[in-house]
Amino acid sequence: MVTIPHSPSNHSLADVMPSVAAALGVHGHNPLKLEASRDAVLVLVDGLGAELIREHAEHAPTLASMTTRMISAGFPSTTATSLTSLAVGAPCSQHGIVGYSFRISDSAGPTTFNPLRWTLESSGGPTAIDRFPPRELQSMPSLLEVLAADGVEVTYVMRAEFRDSGLTRAAFRADGAYLPANTLAEISRAVTATVSHPSRTRRFVYAYFGDLDMIGHVHGPGSPEWLHSLREVDAFIADLATDLPTSCRLVVTADHGMVTAQTQIDIDTTPALLADVINVAGEARVRHAYARDGAAQEVLAAWTSHLSGHARVLSREQALDEHLFGPGREHAGRLGDVIAIATGGVVLTRSQNEELETSLLGHHGANTAAEQHIPLISR
């Protein structure tokens, strides 16, 4: 029987790590009311939207039965933003990773920055590590640092290439043991080996699996390839829930859901969307347009007119007033002068500047239920 609620609670991904820390006796604020435990394992499955679990429950019976709570990913629903919100326990208006890409400035001037790859100009551009050191660009402390400072042993389980990535250093920040793992079987072995033996210290394990998201991007959510991966994730969670000691809390969540592209609007070949625009950032479901000086209103009018019925278009000030990215204005300058949020199955692509991203079938970033609703499993 599918037990997934039809609407999320008033909590978001930013509430998960504060609650885990509280369950471990480290942090006083426990918004998700997680019960106390000696050890904790947090598994984040990239792209595992709650609406996708509901739609394909016959392929994921364990996930469907265990997802009795649902929370929101936060806006925008994209990996770099979500993982940082998870780690620091705050929305992107406070930590500053405001999207898949955005404009940022230093003494050398403004440039487009991609925090997922930690590159300049595009996902395949030159590294930004030296120009924008991760711990300076995102300076909020993470909850993993709080755990480590309180004597909790922190262990990371994920792909080896993520260990020293700019995003890992910016968001998670804390030192700890690192167990490289690519497959679900490798993740399971690493997690259980870490918490199954007796220890005098409390332990926290963060495990990340990204293949479901990658397959969804390439083949589309709900495709045969994606369903095969979903079944594997379901079996992995079922086994982990059984194999972990009773003294260890298991928390499973995601960073966003996903939608299938249906209608493509190519910004790079649409003159009305390029007039008076010096740069376009974001991703296909949420775009940031940066206008030339004095032309923000003209760009707003043009984007509003051309994207009518395809996207919600608003000014930076309107987005700030609505707390779309969360409360606060510290990083307002990173937002576009104009922001377009795609609706339905619309994607706002850039065929000339983002060839790979334009070819994808699955997308996320906007604030539809399919992209925003994520599971919260706690055992």
Give the pLDDT score at 19: 97
**d(C-alpha 22, C-alpha 146), whole Å:** 11
Give the pLDDT score at 377: 97
Q: What's the chain's length in residues?
A: 379
Go through 63-94 and write b for each residue having 16 or more CB atoms within 10 A of its CB, e for each that does not.
Answer: bbebbebbbbbbbbbbbbbbbbbbbbbbbbbb
Give the pLDDT score at 7: 66
**d(C-alpha 338, C-alpha 323), whole Å:** 15
Give the pLDDT score at 3: 67
- Name the residue type at position 182: N
Q: What distance separates the 2 farthest-apart alpha carbons in the chain?
A: 65
Give the pLDDT score at 8: 65
Give the pLDDT score at 2: 57
Q: What is the pLDDT of residues 341-370, one digit of tens each?
A: 999 999 999 999 999 999 999 999 999 999
Tens of each residue's pLDDT in the chain, 379 residues:
556 777 667 899 999 999 999 999 997 899 999 999 999 999 999 999 999 999 999 999 999 999 999 999 999 999 999 999 999 999 999 999 999 999 999 988 899 999 999 999 988 899 999 999 999 999 999 999 999 999 999 999 999 999 999 999 999 999 999 999 999 999 999 999 999 998 999 999 999 999 999 999 999 999 999 999 999 999 999 999 999 999 999 999 999 999 999 999 999 999 999 999 999 999 999 999 999 999 999 999 999 999 999 999 999 999 999 999 999 999 999 999 999 999 999 999 999 999 999 999 999 999 999 999 999 999 9
Q: What is the pLDDT of residues 29-64, one digit of tens each?
A: 999 999 999 999 999 999 999 999 999 999 999 999
| Sign of the alpha-carbon torsion through 353, 117, 89, 192 | positive
Residue 112 and residue 280 in contact, taking contact as beta carbons nearer than 8 Å:
no
3-state secondary structure of 235: helix
Tokens standing for residue 282 = 């974001």
* Cα 6 from chain centroid (whole Å): 21
Q: Token match 């940022």: residue?
A: 104
DSSP H helices in 263-331: 271-274, 296-306, 316-321
Give the pLDDT score at 122: 85
Go through 273-312 and write b for each residue having 16 or more CB atoms within 10 A of its CB, e for each that does not.
Answer: beebbebbbbbbbbbbbbbeeeebeebbebbbebbeebbe
* Cα 273 from chain centroid (whole Å): 27
Give the pLDDT score at 24: 97
Distinct helix (H) and strand (E) counts, the chain? 16, 18
Residue 239 buriedness (CB in 10 A; 0-12 / 13-18 / 19+): middle
| Sign of the alpha-carbon torsion through 51, 56, 61, 63 | negative
